[in-house]
Structure 1
Amino acid sequence: MRDVLFIPFYDGIELVVAADGSAAIGEKEKDVVHAPYDVVSYFAARVAFMEVLSVGAKPHAVVLQNFVHDEAWETLCNGIRRTCQELHIDIPVIGSSETNFPTLQSAVGITVVGTVQTERKRVGITPKDAKFAVIGEPLVGDEVLKRKERMLSLSLFQALLRQTYVYEIVPVGSKGIYYELQQLLQDNGLSSFSCSCSLPLFASSGPATSVLISYDPHMEEEIKKMVKDLFFSIELRL
């Protein structure tokens, strides 16, 4: 199953909920990866938004859980707003901060809530003759900041969403390409005996620095023109 929760709402409309979190990343002394808090929230929001948008949903609100300290709230919100600006989305942010107890490491959770028409969900719509590829490279931790040119940008992500010949888009998370591929195949009643890709199949893709796509084989060259050297084909034996 996708990392998205679908809840029947009314008249063919479903609520869509996706979340992401980070821990030990921030400005505290004991954090494993040191980064400004607006950067931390930007990447956490990026994941949650990508999950919601990739299934065809429209985001309506962001929920922020701030376990850093109360003073970090506005900075964290700035990171979320940056994500919204890049996606050309304007929605409210609500949430809460831990104010009772100090924490030794940073922790942030972000949830995005949206809606989608059931008939327009981009889930389980990949035909048997589709091909598969990864766009962007799996990066995690310091790699995300040091090699950001190898990461799928949000503008490119949105460009892929607009293409009718791209059937499904799945943000790749910490479990890696192979895991997301198996979930995508399962959602479409498909299975493979083997698969190969020039990228590491089991490496974490951190804050969705790459996505898995299924697409019309006849349009492969168009996709390559769009994403350039961020295209990595997946060869399957179905």
Structure 2
Amino acid sequence: MRHELRLGEWIVTSDNSGGIGEKPLDFVKAPDKVTAKFAARVALLEQWAAQSEPEAVLLHNFSGEAQWNRYVEGIEELLFEAGIKNIQLTGSSETNVETLQSAIGVTMLGKRQREENSEPLKWFVYGMPLVGKDVLEKKEQLADIKKINEARLNRLVERLWPVGSKGIAKEAELLFGKQITPVADVDVHASAGPSTCVLIGVREENTEALKGHFGIHIYPLHH
């Protein structure tokens, strides 16, 4: 279990973003489409971490009516890249008060499809921890959402754990209940922002296939 809410067969996950967008007082300047795409990315990875497949998306738009279509475009682009179809999307916009900074929230609702694998797994870090402008300028270091989904559906990856602002070391401690050995070439204490990297658990016999599937930015994790 990570940060999801379980309501019977339903899994609810969410993420939000503030001060990131196209408004003059935003701290990080980024296209609104990209802001929504990365907020949805976190909620989607949380769904997969709970062994759930999303069925609906709720968009909470505090930025204004003009931003709605751009936010929707970003979310739809993420779902397309992940290979996910037939997702319902709705939500609401703040239109009574004009805000000075961008702010959105994305909630996903899905249904759990399988139980977590309880057998011993080999764990890896996929992707690099990035935050702020680096997310936009170093896209080649991001964990590829399509490759992750393919690996899940093919059972190449048994478990998934997104990494956020607390960094790899903290998330690994939550996952394993103990500290990890430092990972070569990766700052395990750096923020991974909108889950630019993930922890993935695989069966030992699949470790070589894992490296072939993901290619670069895949690092063994020892705990």
Output the TM-score relative to the length of structure 1: 0.87
8 Å contact 2:6–2:12 — kept in the other structure?
yes
Aligned partner of 1:181 in structure 2 is: 172
Amino acid at match of 1:55: A
Amino acid at match of 1:197: V
8 Å contact 1:66–1:108 — kept in the other structure?
yes
Aligned partner of 2:7 in structure 1 is: 7
Of 20, 24, 30, the residue aligned with 1:25 is: 20
Structure 1: which 5+ runs fail to align? Answer: 9-13, 186-190
Q: Does 1:105 align with 2:101?
A: yes
Say which SS state the counterpart of residue 209 (structure 1) adopts: coil
Say which SS state the counterpart of residue 110 (structure 1) adopts: strand
Aligned partner of 2:212 in structure 1 is: 225
Distance 1:126 1:136, change over 3 A: farther
Aligned partner of 1:195 in structure 2 is: 181
Of 104, 112, 115, the residue aligned with 1:121 is: 115
Aligned partner of 2:125 in structure 1 is: 134
Q: Percent identity?
A: 37
8 Å contact 1:139–1:206 — kept in the other structure?
yes
**CA distance in 2: counterparts of 1:108 and 1:41, whole angstroms:** 7
Say which SS state the counterpart of residue 15 (structure 2) adopts: strand
Aligned partner of 2:66 in structure 1 is: 71
**CA distance in 1: counterparts of 2:115 and 2:174, whole angstroms:** 16
**CA distance in 2: counterparts of 1:27 and 1:149, whole angstroms:** 23
Deviates more, 1:18-27 or 1:196-205: 196-205
**CA distance in 2: counterparts of 1:131 and 1:91, whole angstroms:** 32
**CA distance in 1: counterparts of 2:219 and 2:180, whole angstroms:** 16
* CA-to-aligned-CA distance 1:142-187 (integer Å, 9 cap, x gap): 00110000101111111221243522111111111122212222xx
8 Å contact 1:57–1:121 — kept in the other structure?
no
Aligned partner of 2:44 in structure 1 is: 49
Say which SS state the counterpart of residue 166 (structure 1) adopts: coil
Shift of 1:80: 1.0
**CA distance in 1: counterparts of 2:194 and 2:174, whole angstroms:** 18
The CA RMSD measured in Å over matched residues stands at 1.6
Aligned partner of 1:166 in structure 2 is: 157
Shift of 1:96: 1.0
Deviates more, 1:14-23 or 1:54-63: 54-63
**CA distance in 1: counterparts of 2:156 and 2:188, whole angstroms:** 24
The alignment of Structure 1 onto Structure 2 pairs a total of residues equal to 221
Aligned partner of 1:11 in structure 2 is: none
Q: Does 1:96 align with 2:92?
A: yes
Distance 1:182 1:192, change over 3 A: closer
Shift of 1:224: 0.9
8 Å contact 2:19–2:103 — kept in the other structure?
yes
Output the TM-score relative to the length of structure 2: 0.93
8 Å contact 1:126–1:168 — kept in the other structure?
no
Shift of 1:194: 4.3
**CA distance in 1: counterparts of 2:215 and 2:11, whole angstroms:** 32
Shift of 1:90: 2.2
